Amino acid sequence: GNSVTQMEGPVTLSEEAFLTINCTYTATGYPSLFWYVQYPGEGLQLLLKATKADDKGSNKGFEATYRKETTSFHLEKGSVQVSDSAVYFCALNEAAGNKLTFGGGTRVLVKP
């Protein structure tokens, strides 16, 4: 079956530091890949997505590249802000599937 593995947190950073959250996946076929963000006390928001190999999703300074050869979709941001403190979820949806499969989530805490 499909699965998503992402690095465990919490990740604690200082403001303006570089952020990487690793995500790897297992899937049959060619899934779409997503990063969702959950700010404290809120639901999930789509941060970015990529639908095919070598696509790069980007939003709010975050980027992730769909790497089929390494089955990875690592999230990066060059300079984090306190407002980026949240839980980040990597997820995949198989092209012919009806379900979104999530990783365990990574909590990020950015300190001023």
Partner 1 sequence: SQTIHQWPATLVQPVGSPLSLECTVEGTSNPNLYWYRQAAGRGLQLLFYSVGIGQISSEVPQNLSASRPQDRQFILSSKKLLLSDSGFYLCAWRSVRVDGYTFGSGTRLTVV
Which own/partner pairs from 24-30 qualify as long-range (CB within 8 Å, at least 24 positions apart)? 24/70, 24/71, 24/72, 24/73, 25/71, 25/72, 25/73, 25/90, 25/92, 26/2, 26/71, 27/2, 27/3, 27/71, 27/92, 27/94, 28/2, 28/94, 29/94, 29/95, 29/96, 30/68, 30/95
Q: Closest distance between partner 1 and the C-beta of residue 112, in Å?
A: 25
Nearer of residues 17 and 59 to partner 1, judged by Cβ? 59
49 touching partner 1, by CB under 8 A: yes
Q: Closest distance between partner 1 and the C-beta of residue 45, in Å?
A: 7
Among the listed ranges 21-29, 36-44, 55-63, 77-85, the one in contact with partner 1 (CB under 8 A) is 36-44
